[in-house]
Structures are given as structure tokens and as C-alpha cells.
Structure 1
Amino acid sequence: MNKGHLLKNNTFLGLLIFGLLLSNVLSGQESVVANKKIDKAVGKLLKDKKIKNAFEIIDAIENETERDLITLTEIPAPPYMEAERAEAFKKMFMEAGLDEVSIDEVGNVIAIRKGTVGGKVIVLDAHLDTVFPEGTDVKVVKKGDTLVAPGVGDDTRGLAMLLAIFKAMKKADVSTEADVWFVGSVGEEGLGDLRGVKHLFREGAQKIDSWISIDGGTVGRVNNAGLGSVRYKALFKGKGGHSWGAFGLANPHHALGFAIKEFTENAKTFTDEGAKTSFNIGRIGGGTSVNSIPFESWMEVDMRSVDSDRLKEVEAIFKESMETALKAYNNTGIDDEISLELIKIGDRPSGELSLDTPLVQRAISATNLFGYKPSLTRGSTNSNIPISMGIPAITIGRGGIGGGAHSLHEWWLNENGAEAIKLAMLLTVIEAGYVK
């Protein structure tokens, strides 16, 4: 082989390796480094007297922050029932010395700390809602240094962090040019479908210039990409009747069975190849008794993809599969017919911010300077909405150590938890423009 061929092959190999490394970085498998200019600016801010004082305050009020966490955790916040927790969160901000605190039309708590210049708005967000239904025992149990309760980590810890950050900034007299909004948002979980953040970014709303969410994970998470998803409820309806007396009548459950088989086979063929795409039938229901032909049968389906075009394709496969299955079942010779209604119950857009986005670079730099390894990730969080709109937005971890999220035995341990609070405060201050 001549030198020209060797050069071409080596160049190709080098590009291939670079591409693979870049892919790993974007999927959160490798740590990344910010540019030197931003590193220098962040490093300088870390040495600032007021910032250091604010950090000392965060350490000093850790017991108070834990009490806030316990208080909020023990106020139930089921989906669409966040009002009581919202009122308590609002009161906590007011007691901490913030006058401009309100609850908007959909239930978001918005606590505004005015900047010296104003005009721009930087949001620091954590969500109020949990996945647990009404009646769940949310009493916090302390097992040594570990707090155990449904929702104690996801995302009540984030709410307590917002309070600690405001208290530290106020006591240390840390000022910013832009307004900082501390937001306790509704509807992040499940069928809430990001309704809180969607409302904040609705047409005609106050412009938000940057968005930082605290939600899940350890220090080091820099979620700069939104994992898109669509969710449907497929509702099959019939007349219903007695299992013996009306035997032979069209049965919605039987039609649902046809639909599940048709969709899972078609969707699997599609998802076996190409950019990662998933599908899941998460809930099914209907019927009145074992000896009754049901009058309705339903299932809830979740579809996700890292690629917006593939998400549209798997959504189309779902719709076509439902219609094909319905037709096939109605043609089996049953008495009467089953009807179908497809109800969209979730729509989270996808998107991705460039590594060069200043907010992303600042998060990487701050994480490195705090002694942790930053990792770019993709997730389904409140940040999906601003990311999909091209607005600087990230989701960062709440720190500490936790587990059992979305379960009755969820737990959280305050191991270096204050570091996550300091990091979130630093990012907020940098993004909002620190005033010396």
C-alpha cells in the first residue's frame, strides 16, 4: 500500500475515533472540559469575598435546610394536587425575606429577586409535584443520617436547595444584574406533561433568558439535551353485556389484545435499528366484572426517542397499528363493532444545546473546579421546553446520595450535599451577571 493510501486511511481512522469519542461525551459517558476563558472567570468568582461568605452560610444553615426538606416532603403533592405544598413553599420564601412571591394561574410558585439592572430573567427551578397518589404516607423517617420518605429526593431536595440559595445570597449580599426567579414548578412528573414550565414559556409570557433546573442525580450531571416523548391513551369502546347472555358481542378487551400485538410487533421492528427509540405500554384498564363483557378498555402508551423525526415515525406506527388492529378485530365476525379514540396525554419535545453554549460551558467549568467530573446527559426534565426553543437551559443534580426514586422507600443521604447547593448558586450568579 502506498503512502497516499496510508495517509487517507489514517485520516479516516482518526476522524472515526474522534466521532466516537464525541458521541460518548454527548451521551454522558465521558467528562468534558470548559474553555480556558470561562474557567478563568469562574475561578475568579470562586475567590470573591461575598461568594465565599455565601458558601459559608450554606454550610452554616445545613440543619435549617434539612428541616425545610422534611417539612416540604411531608406535605403531599400528588399530580395536579400541588397547591398545599405550593402555599407552604411560598410562605417559606416570604419568611426568608423575599417580598415578591406569587403563585401563577397553573400553580407555579415564582419568587423574584430583583437584579440591579433588570430586563433579563434567569430561572432556578425545582418541581413541586411527586409521582405518589393521594393518600400516600409521606412521613419522613430518619435512619441514622438517612432520610426515608416518598419524594424526599425527587424533587423536594431541589426545593430546599432553592431556599438555601436565596438565604445565602441575601445574607451575603450577593447581587446580580439580571432578575433571578426561584421557581417551584408544577406538573413535571408523568401526566403533568411539564404543564408548569410550558405555561412559563407560553406565547406572550415574560421572556426567560436562561433556565437552570435541579432534578435528580449527583453533582456532575449537566443535562443539555431533552429526550422527547409522546404519550397516548388508546380507548376502545363497545356496548358491553353479560358474558353468557351476550356472548359473541364485540369485546373491547379482545380488540385491545389485537392492538397490543400489532403495535409491539411493528414498533419492535422499527426500534431494533437506528437512533435509540423506545416504546412502552405502561397501564391498561377497563371492565366491571369477570362475567361482564366490558364497555370500554384502555391502555396508556409512552414513546421516546433521541431523534425528533424518529419520534414522529414511531408515533405514526402507533396510530396506524391501532387502526389496523381495530379493523382486523371488527372483521372477525363479532356482533356489532368496537370504536377507537386516541387521546394524546403527553408531548415533551426533544432538542439539544451545543457544547459551546455559555451556560453549558459554565456548568462544566464550575463542576470541574468543585472537584467533580462533569458529564453531558440527555433526559426528560423541565429543561426540555426551553432547550427545544433554543433557550440556554440545563438540568443539574441535587447532590448527596439517594435511591429508590418513585418508590415508597425513596431515600436521601446528605453526603456533601452542600456542594450541590453552592454549585447551583454559583451557576445562577454567573448566568445572571455578578455585581461586585
Structure 2
Amino acid sequence: MPETLTDLLAALIRLDSTNPALVPGGAGEAVIARYVVQWLTEHDIPAELDEAAPGRFSVIATVKGTGGGRTLLLNAHLDTVGTEGMTAPFDPVVRGGRMSGRGAYDMKSGLAACLMALLDAKATPLRGDVILTAVADEEHASLGMQSVLRRVTADAAIVTEPTELCVCVAHKGFTWHEIITHGRAAHGSRPDLGVDAIAHMGRVLGKLEGLGQALTARPAHPLLGHGSLHASLITGGQELSSYPERCTLQVERRTLPGETPEAVTQEIEALLTDLKADPTFHAEHRVTLARDPFGVAPNAPIVQILQRAAEQQLGAPPAVIGQTFWMDSAFLAAAGIPTVVFGPRGGGAHATEEWVDLASAEQCRQILTATLRAFCA
């Protein structure tokens, strides 16, 4: 079994954990989850599998403290996106202090740092527990995180998504919406009979464009900027010579801390209500998925302790940042667990050239260890 972070990361990259919800036939997390359990078991750290759905396994491991201390949860995800366009995605290559391969950056380096920090916790007398959750399906529906949160809780959490060794205290959420406009099918030569569902959707698009512009006029979040909205997918019509009886639009709205799915839905419903003043306009709207934004107070104990540990390791205070993309940290925060995001440097997430800076991965491990020693003492 690998004993160094570099060797452990290489072993993890060699295990295909492509999310099958993203890539039909993807390997999923079963093999890598069992490997992580075996690695932990051989290092005398109790670990178990949690099956969120058939074949979708997460790992829960705990280094027990002596009692009376705070519990810290370290989190990483096991799954990766697909490998189309990559020549040897599961063959880790080290060059110039970087390791490349699918998942090197997003986020098997964070997972490796967590695992090595768990070894450090085991070697350190602590009053509080240190928990690892290595979860399935983060890249799609977060089945793993939602499942493990039914079994574990903690006084604080660190999600080791890559942050370039910056301290991330906020990220955007999102809502997905489906809007359908209904027309009346008729021969293209009979405008007296037909109602154009696509033209009616054009009115919706105009209203949505106005809403998107209005979002930029609202007060900006200090780390995340403005919320946003865009039309993602559109389909409609039956054939060229007929009035379209139906048009379907899918919309994504990126949200800021403090914005709720309910409020966003009401804004879109208000736009449709305005259009329904035309008796020929018929539309329906539903939310297909909602994920909350994330934010933690910069003066939260876990944030302060992590910042001090990072400053000591890096020789300068780490930048405090927000991220535009969504992460499982939102589920942890929604469960009442103060959470911060911190991970190594690298690049190529979801791209054909993915790599992590190995020195930063080791620094991440050292900072996690210093943080858990202070938090769980």
C-alpha cells in the first residue's frame, strides 16, 4: 500500500471512477471506494462503505478522539468526469513537479491529502474525532453527500476541492427551470388558425434577458459578484411547414448567498404572468433542480484556525476567495456544519489536460493536519 501522498495519489488516479450518470457505462465509485477502505483498514483506521444507490459507494472513516473535543469532518469526492479526448487518463505522469491524469486536480489530490491527514490524526492524541467522508456522485446529483449526512455530523468541515491554497468561504448556487409555451398546430399557410409557440417563447426570452440585465444592477456579493441567468437549451416545432404547437426552454439561474429557489421561481413566474395578459399566450414553468449557494462567516472558528495554519505553512496569509461553481459544501452548510473549502493548486478540471502541483498537495496535507490538531485538541 502506498505510504507517501504522491504514491497514494498515483494509485487513486489509476482507478477509473468515472461518474456513470455523466458517462453511460462509467465505472462509478465501487472500486475506488473499496480501495480507500482497504488502505484505511491497513493503517488501523476504521472505515465503512455507504451505498447511496445501487453501486454508488461512499466511504466513512473515523479517527476517534479521547473525548470532550470538537469533531472535524474532512471531505472529498471519489467520482470524476469523463475522459473523452484524453490519451491515457488513468496513467499518472509526473513532470516538473506536477502529476497529470484524470482526477489529479478534481479532486483525488484533495482526497489523498485527507487520507494522509487522517494518518497524522491517528498519530496525535486528540480529544475530538476526525471524520473522513469520501463521497460518490459529486459531479452529478451529490447522492453520496446526501446519504452520508444522514449518518454523520460534525462541529466543522473542510471540503478539499482545489482552491489554489486559498481559503474559500462562499460559492454560488443554481436553479434549473423548464418553461414550455403552447401554441396551436396548423398548416403554415393558415395564420388564421395557427398559434406560434416558438414566437411566444421569443417573448419569454426577451423578458429573461431583461431579468439578467437587472441582476447586474443589484448589489454585488463581495466575493462572488452578481447572480446571473442564461437560456441553456431550446427545442420546438414539428416541421417546417407547420405552426409549432410547443416550445421548451431550459434555463439556468446562478444564485448568491441569501437568494432562495422560492424567490427565484417567483421572479420568473412574475415575468410569465405579465405575458399572460395576451389571451393567446399559454405557458407553464417548473423548477427541475435547485442547489443552494454556500457561505460561511469569515470569523467562524474553523475559518480562523485554517487561515492561521495556512499562514504558518505558506509564510503569508492565504487569500480569502469565493468560487463561481457549486460544491458539496452547500449540503454540509445546510446541515448546520460550519464549512470551509481548501485544496491544492493545479489546472485542467474537466479538461483533457488535468494536473496538480504536488508540492501544493503536500502543503494542503500539512495545513489540514495543523488545523485538525488545533480544532480537535
- Interval of TM-score (by shorter of Structure 1 and Structure 2): 0.7 to 0.9
Paired residues of 2:71 and 2:155 also in contact (CA < 8 A): yes
Paired residues of 2:71 and 2:131 also in contact (CA < 8 A): yes
- Change in Cα spacing, 1:175 to 1:249, as seen in structure 2 (3 Å) is farther
- Change in Cα spacing, 1:100 to 1:269, as seen in structure 2 (3 Å) is closer
CA offset digits 1:375-404 (Å, max 9, x no partner) = 22234433234445653321112x2x4223
Q: Which moved more, 1:269-278 or 1:235-244?
A: 235-244
Unaligned runs of 5+ in 1: 1-57, 332-336
Q: How does 1:78-89 map to 2 (within 5 A)?
A: 78-79=20-21, 84-89=28-33
Among 144, 148, 162, the residue aligned to 1:216: 162
Match of 1:102 in 2: 49
| 1:353, distance to aligned residue in structure 2 (A) | 1.7
- Change in Cα spacing, 1:237 to 1:84, as seen in structure 2 (3 Å) is same
Distance 1:142 1:329 in 2: 62
- Change in Cα spacing, 1:108 to 1:416, as seen in structure 2 (3 Å) is closer
| 1:407, distance to aligned residue in structure 2 (A) | 2.5
- Change in Cα spacing, 1:338 to 1:350, as seen in structure 2 (3 Å) is same
- Change in Cα spacing, 1:94 to 1:142, as seen in structure 2 (3 Å) is closer
Q: How does 1:152-191 map to 2 (within 5 A)?
A: 152-170=104-122, 173-189=123-139
Q: Which amino acid aligns with 1:352?
A: V
| 1:277, distance to aligned residue in structure 2 (A) | 2.7
Aligned length: 355
Match of 1:254 in 2: 199
Q: Give SS of 1:316's match.
A: helix
Distance 1:65 1:295 in 2: 53
| 1:304, distance to aligned residue in structure 2 (A) | 1.5
Superposition CA RMSD, Å = 3.5
Distance 1:255 1:141 in 2: 52
Q: Give SS of 1:277's match.
A: coil
Q: Give SS of 2:248's match.
A: strand
Match of 1:77 in 2: 19
- Change in Cα spacing, 1:210 to 1:245, as seen in structure 2 (3 Å) is same
Q: Give SS of 1:105's match.
A: strand
Match of 2:311 in 1: 368
Is the aligned partner of 1:142 residue 2:93? yes
Higher Rg? 1
Unaligned runs of 5+ in 2: none
- Change in Cα spacing, 1:415 to 1:254, as seen in structure 2 (3 Å) is farther
Q: Which amino acid aligns with 1:321?
A: L
| 1:158, distance to aligned residue in structure 2 (A) | 1.5
Paired residues of 1:359 and 1:393 also in contact (CA < 8 A): yes
Distance 2:179 2:102 in 1: 31
| 1:135, distance to aligned residue in structure 2 (A) | 6.7
Among 211, 234, 248, the residue aligned to 1:266: 211
Distance 2:167 2:65 in 1: 26
| 1:201, distance to aligned residue in structure 2 (A) | 4.3
Among 272, 292, 302, the residue aligned to 1:359: 302
- Change in Cα spacing, 1:270 to 1:70, as seen in structure 2 (3 Å) is closer
| 1:284, distance to aligned residue in structure 2 (A) | 0.6
Distance 1:250 1:305 in 2: 38
Query: Which structure is higher in helix share?
Result: 1
Q: Give SS of 1:301's match.
A: strand
| 1:104, distance to aligned residue in structure 2 (A) | 4.1
TM-score (norm 1): 0.69
Distance 1:406 1:246 in 2: 49
Percent identity between the two aligned chains: 18
Paired residues of 1:109 and 1:183 also in contact (CA < 8 A): yes
Paired residues of 1:230 and 1:315 also in contact (CA < 8 A): no
Q: Which amino acid aligns with 1:391?
A: I
Match of 2:9 in 1: 66
Q: Which amino acid aligns with 1:102?
A: L
- Change in Cα spacing, 1:251 to 1:414, as seen in structure 2 (3 Å) is farther
Q: Which amino acid aligns with 2:373?
A: V
Distance 2:376 2:231 in 1: 41
- Change in Cα spacing, 1:228 to 1:319, as seen in structure 2 (3 Å) is farther
Distance 1:79 1:176 in 2: 39
| 1:320, distance to aligned residue in structure 2 (A) | 1.5
Q: Which amino acid aligns with 2:105?
A: G
TM-score (norm 2): 0.78
Distance 1:62 1:369 in 2: 21
Among 171, 175, 179, the residue aligned to 1:227: 171
| 1:71, distance to aligned residue in structure 2 (A) | 1.9
| 1:408, distance to aligned residue in structure 2 (A) | 3.0
